[in-house]
Every structure is written in C-alpha cells, then in structure tokens.
C-alpha cells in the first residue's frame, strides 16, 4: 500500500532528476523515470510526475513553480466556476478562459476547484447559496447531470458484475481464438 507523503527531501529530488536524465540519455519515456522513483519513494507515479513538472523541471518562466491560492483568489475561482456552470459551461472551458488559454494555469485552476469540492464542500455550498440569492440558477456541483457525458474512467465493476464480465470476455476470447484457427466458435 502506498503511504501518504507531504514533502520531498533533497535526496529524493536529486534521485528524481538523475532518473529523468538517465531516461533522456537512453531515449526512454520520462514515465519510466517517474515509475522508478515512485517505486523507491512509495509514492504514486502521477504524484512524482506532478512534482517534477511543477517543482523541478527547468523552465523559462519568471513566476515561481508553485504559489498557493489566497483566500480571495479561491473565492474568485469558486464564484467564476459556479457562474459558468449556471450558464451551461464546463469547468474546463471556464478555467481555460480564466487562464487566457494557458493550459498550465487552467489545470491549476481546475485542480483547485476539484480539491475544493472534495475538501471544502461547505465552502462550495455557501458560495452556491450566495449566487442563488443573487438570482443565478446554479446547478448543484455535487450532483452529476445525467444528460452530460461522463468524462474519465468508467467506474470499476465489483463483485458479481465483475465476475460476469470476466466470464463473458473469456468466452469471447476463446471464440475469437477458435475462429482464427479455423474452428467453429462454441
């Protein structure tokens, strides 16, 4: 099981940079470096990747790699996204507009909004109530709209459903192999 980590040591940063350099020298995907460091630090590969791109990757940007949101910025972001949702706009489209097309900033905004939904639902509800009192028809961000397409991975089947799906896939695979070998499928 993966542990919970809150910070990176200088040794871990150095190991990550070394693995990235090794991957580049051997013309391997950076993912191999992220996976290797994740294994040794007991972190998730995506966390390693995010740390590299936000903290360690050399860049020409003058702004710092990470700056926390102020309370005012958080409130502005929350209100902007909720108002966009009230107009039928997606979170992604709203945050991209807020970031003036800068996808890195857009992801930062989008991630902050998603984190607010998870960690501060009472704050999100309070902001929604305030906008409703101002006359806006803001949908509940905690209720998925059945008419909107699901984005991301489908939910993982569990229990009996998973067993039935596996049995179906096994049967399909056996039939496919039989057909490719000139036998009749059964």
How many other CB atoms are there within 10 angstroms of residue 143's CB atom?
7
Query: Which two three-digit tokens encode residue 81?
Result: 């996204």
Tens of each residue's pLDDT in the chain, 186 residues: 445 566 788 888 888 888 988 888 888 888 999 999 999 999 998 888 888 887 776 654 445 556 788 999 999 999 999 999 999 898 999 999 999 988 888 989 999 999 999 999 999 999 999 999 999 999 999 887 666 666 566 666 678 888 888 889 999 999 988 888 887 766
CB 101 within 8 A of CB 55: no
Instruction: Please answer whether residues 66 and 55 qualify as being in contact, where contact means their C-beta atoms are separated by less than 8 angstroms.
Output: yes
Query: Are 76 and 40 contacting, i.e. CB atoms less than 8 angstroms apart?
Result: no
Provide the phi-psi class of 184: left if phi over 0, else alpha when psi is between -120 and 50, else beta: beta
Going from N- to C-terminal start, the domains of the chain cover 10-56, 71-133
Q: In whole angstroms, what is the distance from residue 18 CA to residue 3 CA?
A: 23
Which residues have C-beta within 8 Å of that of residue 74, sequence separation ≥ 6?
112, 116
Query: 136-140, long-range: CB within 8 Å, 24+ apart, which pairs?
Result: 136/82, 136/83, 136/86, 137/86, 138/82, 138/83, 138/85, 138/86, 139/85, 139/86
């Amino acid at each position: 099981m993966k542990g919970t980590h809150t910070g990176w040591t200088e040794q871990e940063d150095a190991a990550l940079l070394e693995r990235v350099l090794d991957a580049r020298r051997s013309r391997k995907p950076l993912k191999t470096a992220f996976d290797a460091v994740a294994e040794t630090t007991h972190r998730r590969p995506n966390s390693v990747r995010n740390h590299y791109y936000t903290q360690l990757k050399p860049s020409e940007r003058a702004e710092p790699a990470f700056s926390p949101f102020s309370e005012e910025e958080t409130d502005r972001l929350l209100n902007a996204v909720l108002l966009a949702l009230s107009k039928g706009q997606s979170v992604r489209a709203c945050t991209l507009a807020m970031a003036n097309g800068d996808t890195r900033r857009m992801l930062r905004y989008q991630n902050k909004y998603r984190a607010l939904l998870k960690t501060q639902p009472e704050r999100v509800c309070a902001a929604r109530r305030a906008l409703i009192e101002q006359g806006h028809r803001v949908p509940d961000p905690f209720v998925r709209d059945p008419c909107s397409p699901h984005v991301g991975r489908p939910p993982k089947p569990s229990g009996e459903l998973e067993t039935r799906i596996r049995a179906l896939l096994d049967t399909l695979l056996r039939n496919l192999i039989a057909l490719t070998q000139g036998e009749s499928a059964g």
